[in-house]
Amino acid sequence: MPSIGETAPDFELRNQDDVPVRLSQYLGQKVVLFAFPQAFTPGCNAQACGFRDRFPVIQANGAVVLGISPDQPETLRRWKTENGLPYDLLSDPDHRVLDGWHAWGKSLFGLLTIPRTNRSIWVVDENGVVIEEALGVGPVESIQRAVKALGGA
């Protein structure tokens, strides 16, 4: 897992339109990467729409946003459309990237342990270095921390 001050490992995943997206294609720009458990759920809606609502501030600070979850591209496409999300959503159904970034884990619900994505954020600078990370963070806090790391209010 990349930590603050380390170079973010490159990866390639398919976006909501089934088009491959590489993290390295954004070198020269800042990237806000957020991991979310599942599209169309209340907490994920709050997080994704919060990044949508703060998108002008994020853009003004020279950054792009990428969301990542185990959802399939077609699910992500519907969710993006229904919520008017102005950024790409990436599909990681095998949890390869989520696990490598320590955002794949288990949650305890009563007596059941369920594998799932831990809501997390990372901010990567123009040189590919991680400048902020928060694992297991709440929807609102994830947005606040990302915007603050970019220098936004």
Buried b (16+ CB within 10 A) or exposed e, 94-120: ebebbeebbbbbeeeeeeeeeebbbbb
Q: Please, what is the average pLDDT of the chain?
A: 90
Q: Please check whether residue 145 is in contact with residue 49, taking contact to mean a CB–CB distance below 8 angstroms.
A: no
Query: CB atoms < 10 A from the CB of 31, how many?
Result: 20
Q: What is the mean pLDDT of residues 90-98?
A: 93
Q: Which amino acid is at 30?
A: K
What pLDDT score does 70 carry? 94
Rounded to a whole number of angstroms, the distance between the first and last alpha carbons of the chain is 28
Ranges assigned E (strand) in the chain: 12-15, 20-22, 30-35, 63-69, 88-91, 104-109, 112-117, 120-124, 130-135
Q: Please check whether residue 77 is in contact with residue 116, taking contact to mean a CB–CB distance below 8 angstroms.
A: no
pLDDT tens digits, 104-139: 775 544 554 555 667 899 999 999 999 999 988 889
Name the active-site residue from 8, 44, 58, 64.
44
pTM of the model: 0.91
What pLDDT score does 116 carry? 60
Domain regions of the chain by residue span: 12-150
- Of 83-87, 97-101, 120-124, the one with minimum mean pLDDT is 97-101
The answer to whether 49 is a known catalytic residue is no
Q: Please check whether residue 31 is in contact with residue 123, taking contact to mean a CB–CB distance below 8 angstroms.
A: yes
**Residue 120 bridge partners (DSSP):** 35, 135
What pLDDT score does 112 carry? 47
pLDDT tens digits, 5-56: 999 999 999 999 999 999 999 999 999 999 999 999 898 999 999 999 999 9
CATH class of the domain whose range is 12-150: alpha beta
What pLDDT score does 115 carry? 55
Q: Please check whether residue 52 is in contact with residue 83, taking contact to mean a CB–CB distance below 8 angstroms.
A: yes
**What are the tokens at 41?**
């759920």
